[in-house]
């Protein structure tokens, strides 16, 4: 995996499933992160070849619940992001999926309470010894690329010190979200503090925070000196942000996402969540479309709502 001069889709819970990753890649994303998956949950999964879809599924044992799905089309760019607080458990989980993805990334930036209470995500930022243990354990025992994503600490000095310690584990790149644990999305990302990390490291830094237009990729690279740029909300609202020719109207992107969700048999809850995020940004859930999405219980319902019944029927009829 090469980490210089790349446009990167950030990990987003309930958004970064296979259809959205493929959509982002079609518009120009070079590297696509899956949604964070907790090691405890993944250890309950088994690898299944889905002949009908042509995918590799990781299914929770004893259920039909697909926890992670990938396909050959994304083999060279998909990153599996894991939530963990234990090196041995992380290794066991990574060994299940490592041959089917291009890299394993450890989430060290999630500020949500469920991550913090489990000692995962941003809770790791105050535990440099555990970070070292997790990363070195994975790197010693896997042939797959291993990286991590952090967010800013309380002071620039603390962030740089941690970043240097992470670099010493031998990871080939580091993603940095330009906000602190207490910051909310409405707070401006601190590009200057990402720049401090870039200046201190020799490995590529992937800058993340406040990228909403294609022009912002260059702006944040110029401001921080980062090797690559990662985008979350900007891509969630309109995946064509990765296209140098300019954004495609969101209605067209939305429809293509629905079609891809049908094609790859995406979990309807995930599809609805992503659609609602798009609608809330550009329109309103209280309007007929938003209410219609909320009422949908199946992919067939969504197909009907968006006038894709013929496509849905064609796809289902032609599955092996």
Max distance between CA atoms of the chain, in angstroms, equals 59
* Radius of gyration, alpha carbons of the chain: 19
Strand, helix or coil for residue 181: coil
Distances (CA, A) of 148 to 11, 24, 151: 11, 21, 10
Tokens matching residue 301: 């319902």
Location of structure tokens 């394993």 = 104
Strand, helix or coil for residue 297: coil
Q: Identify which of 259, 260, 290, 295 has the alpha carbon closest to the alpha carbon of residue 275.
A: 290
Tokens matching residue 138: 């994975």
Tokens matching residue 162: 């941690």
Residue in 71, 110, 148, 296 annotated catalytic: 110
Mention every residue, 6+ apart, whose C-beta is less than 8 A from residue 74.
Answer: 18, 21, 22, 25, 32
8 A C-beta contact, residue 226 and residue 194 = yes
Phi, psi of 15 (to 5 degrees): -110, -45
Q: How far apart are CA 41 and CA 273, in angstroms?
A: 21
Q: How far apart are CA 162 and CA 165, in angstroms?
A: 5
Kind plus residue range of the DSSP H or E element containing 1: none
Q: Is 110 a catalytic residue?
A: yes
DSSP conformation class of 100 = G
Q: How many Cα atoms are found within 13 Å in the side-chain-facing hemisphere of 170?
A: 12
The catalytic site residues sit at 110
């Amino acid at each position: 995996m090469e980490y210089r001069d790349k446009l990167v889709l950030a990990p987003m819970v309930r958004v970064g499933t296979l259809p959205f990753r493929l959509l982002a890649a079609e518009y120009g994303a070079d590297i696509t992160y899956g949604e964070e998956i907790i090691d405890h949950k993944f250890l309950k999964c088994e690898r299944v070849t889905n002949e009908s879809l042509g995918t590799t599924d990781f299914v929770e044992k004893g259920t039909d619940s697909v926890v992670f799905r990938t396909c050959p089309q994304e083999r060279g760019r998909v990153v599996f992001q894991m939530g963990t607080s234990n090196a041995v458990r992380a290794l066991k989980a990574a060994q299940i999926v490592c041959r089917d993805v291009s890299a394993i990334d450890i989430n060290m930036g999630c500020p949500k309470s469920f991550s913090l209470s489990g000692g995962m995500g941003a809770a790791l930022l105050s535990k440099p010894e555990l970070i070292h243990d997790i990363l070195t354990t994975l790197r010693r025992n896997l042939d797959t690329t291993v990286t991590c994503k952090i967010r800013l600490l309380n002071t620039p000095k603390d962030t740089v010190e941690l970043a240097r310690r992470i670099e010493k584990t031998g990871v080939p790149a580091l993603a940095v979200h330009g906000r602190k644990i207490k910051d909310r999305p409405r707070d401006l990302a601190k590009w200057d503090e990402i720049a401090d990390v870039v200046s201190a490291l020799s490995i590529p830094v992937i800058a993340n925070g406040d990228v909403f237009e294609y022009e912002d990729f260059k702006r944040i690279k110029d401001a921080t000196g980062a090797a690559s740029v990662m985008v979350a909300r900007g891509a969630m609202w309109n995946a064509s942000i990765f296209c140098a020719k300019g954004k495609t109207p969101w209605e067209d992107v939305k429809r293509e996402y629905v079609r891809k969700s049908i094609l790859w048999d995406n979990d309807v809850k995930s599809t609805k969540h992503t659609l609602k995020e798009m609608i809330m940004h550009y329109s309103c859930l209280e309007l007929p479309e938003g209410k219609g999405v909320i009422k949908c219980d199946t992919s067939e319902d969504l197909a009907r709502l968006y006038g894709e019944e013929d496509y849905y029927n064609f796809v289902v009829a032609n599955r092996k």
